[in-house]
Each structure stands twice: as C-alpha cells, then as structure tokens.
Amino acid sequence: MSTTVTAVGLVGAAAPVTRMVRAYFAPVNRAAGAPTVFDAAQSGGFALSAPPAPWVDLGWCTKFARKSETKIGALTTGAPAVVQSQVVTQVEATVQLEFESWGKLQLALAAGSQQMNLLQTATGAAANGSGGTAAQAVPLAAGSGSTATSLNVGAAAVAQFQVGQLVSVDEDYVAQVGFVGSGVSAAYVSSPASVGGDINYIRRVSLNVGRVVSIANGALQLGAPLLAGAPPSGMQVSSLLGFVDREGGGFFQEWSGLFVMDGEQGDRVIYHYPRLQAMQGSAEVAEPLAGPLEKVKLAGAFRALPVKDYNDGEMVLCFRSYLPGAMRAV
C-alpha cells in the first residue's frame, strides 16, 4: 500500500487523526432478542448531529477504549508437537468510556441495573431510597392526538404542570410479567408481587422521559421527542424530580452502540456493537478543573454480546468500518 502522493492527484493513505468519539444509542428488543443494526454502506456518512433513526445522540465521550479478549489456540500434531493450524477458542470484547454529559440515557447505560425516575411523591408518602409512593399520574386525553413532542392532557389537568418540569410518559403497571418500558426495555418484572403491584412502576423505570418547555391549549410541549414516539391515549404522565440508580440489582441494561471517530482529513472510523451490556455498577471519574472545581464524568464499561452476520453466518461482536477520505489511496 502506498503512503506517498501518487499520480493524478491521488493522496497517499494516512492514519486517521481524530479528536473525540461521538456515541449513539439505539434500543434492543429484549423480548425478541433483536438489536438495532447499523449499515455503514447505507448510512455511514451521516452528519454527527443528525444520526439516522432510531439512533439517539449520546454526545461526546472520552477515554474510549476497545479491548479484544478473543483467544486463539494452536492445534498441534506429532512428537515433538508442531503447530498445524489455529482455532478460535473464545470470542469476547469489552468497551470502556467516559460520557462527557449527564442525561437520562447516559445514566441508565452506565448504571449497570435499573435506572429509576424520582417520581413526585404523594402527600404523606413514607421515605424510600428510590422514591416513595408516587402521586397520581395524569392521563393523556382520549383521542388527544398527542405526538412525540406534545402531550395533550386537557385544559383542566394542564394546571398541574409547569414549564421546566420533567415528566415520565408510559403505561400503567397492571400485573405485566417480563420486560417493561415503552421504546426501551427498562426493567424485568418477575411477578406483580416483586414490585408491590405499583401502578406507577413502569413510569418509575421508563426511559420515555422529557422536559416541558412550554404549555399551551391543554398540551405540554417537550424539548425533545420521546424515545417511544407518539404515545397512545392509554398512557399517563407522571412528574419527576430527577433520576436515581442503585449499587446492586439483577437487571442488565442492553443497547445497540455506535461510536464514530471523525478524522481531520475527511476519513471516518465507525465501531458498531449491536449488543452491549454494562459490566460494572455506576461509577464516576473526577477531572480537575481550575481551582477547587472538578468535572464529574460518568464512567461506563460494557461487554459485547454476539449477533449473526447474515452475509456468512458468522457470530460476531463488533463491526469496524473505515470510510477513507476523498481521493485517498487505498
């Protein structure tokens, strides 16, 4: 391969020079075991600020480190033993990174277990570490025409909300068993008794959250689309104060990950992990700033799980794509 300038204006190949990594999230259908697949041949050149649906921008991340733990063994014959061929004995890969921003998705992915919403509590509710009994939720108006960014709760109910408030939008818990949460599987319920039959449990763990930026005509306008898209009229809205995760718990968040390195010379490196699960509990890293100030970043560590590549039937963990810059020698 040439590394020098060639004829007819072709530029020699060079190693990518990048600044930071941009991370993106897409849901995995846990019940069906189906991840979100990214096709670099179709969508590899997308603008970093506008990923193709259903990918969601997680922002910049630092300390991005991939580690291959795949093991290869030698097959030998004879005495003395002579290596005749090789065989893959174990396929494993991990990813570590630090998120530069804190948001519901970043917190949930780095938490290692359920990541809960601190729902507004009912008057007189007993204190509880992940939030006490929630106040009554507000139903969406029947046939309301709510959208992913507009929640029609009606003129009377809208007075219960204010601009700047956080809300969780999801269905009631009515004895469902299995994965719960609209848009993203946020938890696994083994039995109604395990969650105390709490009608607000799904809204407590849901990733279908948003911030109210304006209120008009009986509708709450959100600052960004809900992950699950337009909510059906059967869903309800709960106010929340923030988010909480716990050290412990048996649920593993799983997501499809996409990590993009944009080269300064027009090239791009894309790492696509169709299935990632957290491999540690919630953790932070403090980065010193000026004086006594520190920037606290979310630290995440993830283990890749396998998918089948239907081009050849191989079971793989990651797809690394390289898009060369214009007129680069290959």
Position 204 pLDDT exceeds 70? yes
Q: Strand pairing partners for 27?
A: 255
Residues 236-253: tens digit of each pLDDT: 999 999 999 999 888 999
Are residues 88 and 156 both part of a single domain? Answer: no
Among the three residues 178, 210, 245, which one is the final residue of a domain in this structure? 245
Position 10 pLDDT exceeds 80? no
Are residues 35 and 125 both part of a single domain? Answer: no
Q: CA 211, 216, 217, 223 torsion: positive or negative? A: negative
Residue 8 confidence (pLDDT): 65
Among the three residues 212, 245, 278, which one is the final residue of a domain in this structure? 245
Are residues 66 and 155 both part of a single domain? Answer: no
How is residue 13 written in tokens?
Answer: 């190949």
Residues 153-166: tens digit of each pLDDT: 999 999 999 999 99
Distance from C-alpha of 275 to C-alpha of 255, rounded to nearest angstrom = 6
CA-nearest of 172, 165, 162, 116 to 139 is: 172
Residue 11 resides in a domain: no
Position 2 pLDDT exceeds 60? no
Residues 79-134: tens digit of each pLDDT: 999 999 999 999 999 999 999 999 999 999 999 889 999 999 999 999 999 999 99
Distance from C-alpha of 207 to C-alpha of 316, rounded to nearest angstrom = 28
CA-nearest of 64, 2, 1, 59 to 25 is: 59
Are residues 135 and 196 both part of a single domain? Answer: yes
Distance from C-alpha of 310 to C-alpha of 66, rounded to nearest angstrom = 24
Residue 301 resides in a domain: yes
CA-nearest of 182, 173, 223 to 201 is: 173
Are residues 140 and 99 both part of a single domain? Answer: no
Residue 258 resides in a domain: yes
Q: Are 27 and 56 in contact (CB under 8 A)?
A: no
Distance from C-alpha of 37 to C-alpha of 112, rounded to nearest angstrom = 23
Q: What is the DSSP letter of 157?
A: G
Total Cβ atoms within 10 A of residue 317: 21
How confident is residue 9, by pLDDT bands cut at 50, 70 and 90?
A: confident
Length of the chain in residues, anyone? 330
The mean per-residue pLDDT over the stretch 190-198 comes to: 96
Q: CA 169, 171, 172, 173 torsion: positive or negative? A: negative
Are residues 225 and 277 both part of a single domain? Answer: no
Residue 96 confidence (pLDDT): 97
How confident is residue 5, by pLDDT bands cut at 50, 70 and 90?
A: low
Distance from C-alpha of 200 to C-alpha of 173, rounded to nearest angstrom = 6
Position 1 pLDDT exceeds 80? no
* Higher local confidence (pLDDT), 33 or 222: 222
Residue 45 confidence (pLDDT): 96
Are residues 208 and 144 both part of a single domain? Answer: yes
Residue 26 confidence (pLDDT): 96
Distance from C-alpha of 133 to C-alpha of 120, rounded to nearest angstrom = 8
Distance from C-alpha of 94 to C-alpha of 78, rounded to nearest angstrom = 37
Burial 278-290 (b: 16+ CB within 10 A, else e): beeebeeeeeeee
Q: Are 253 and 301 in contact (CB under 8 A)?
A: no
Among the three residues 218, 245, 272, which one is the final residue of a domain in this structure? 245
The mean per-residue pLDDT over the stretch 201-224 comes to: 97
Helices (H), 145-289: 201-205
Domain of residue 57 covers 21-75+84-112+252-323
Pairing of strands 236-245, 115-119: antiparallel
Residues 258-291: tens digit of each pLDDT: 999 998 888 999 999 999 999 998 888 998 998 8
Are residues 121 and 241 both part of a single domain? Answer: yes
The mean per-residue pLDDT over the stretch 295-322 comes to: 96
Q: What percent of the chain has pLDDT over 70?
A: 97
Residue 2 resides in a domain: no
Residue 3 resides in a domain: no
Distance from C-alpha of 49 to C-alpha of 45, rounded to nearest angstrom = 12
Are residues 70 and 121 both part of a single domain? Answer: no
How confident is residue 7, by pLDDT bands cut at 50, 70 and 90?
A: low
How is residue 146 written in tokens?
Answer: 């709510």
Residue 222 confidence (pLDDT): 98
Residue 194 resides in a domain: yes
Mean confidence (pLDDT) of the chain: 93
Residue 199 confidence (pLDDT): 98
Cα 257 → chain centroid: 7
Are residues 233 and 282 both part of a single domain? Answer: no
How is residue 275 written in tokens?
Answer: 């299935």
Residue 122 main-chain phi, psi, to 5 deg:
-70, 155
Residues 294-308: tens digit of each pLDDT: 999 999 999 999 999
Q: What percent of the chain has pLDDT over 90?
A: 81
Are residues 233 and 303 both part of a single domain? Answer: no
Q: Strand pairing partners for 113?
A: none
Are residues 142 and 122 both part of a single domain? Answer: yes
Residue 8 resides in a domain: no
Give the chain's domain count: 2
Total Cβ atoms within 10 A of residue 15: 9
Position 4 pLDDT exceeds 70? no
Residue 190 resides in a domain: yes
CA-nearest of 253, 296, 283, 299 to 25 is: 253
CA-nearest of 22, 3, 23 to 13 is: 3
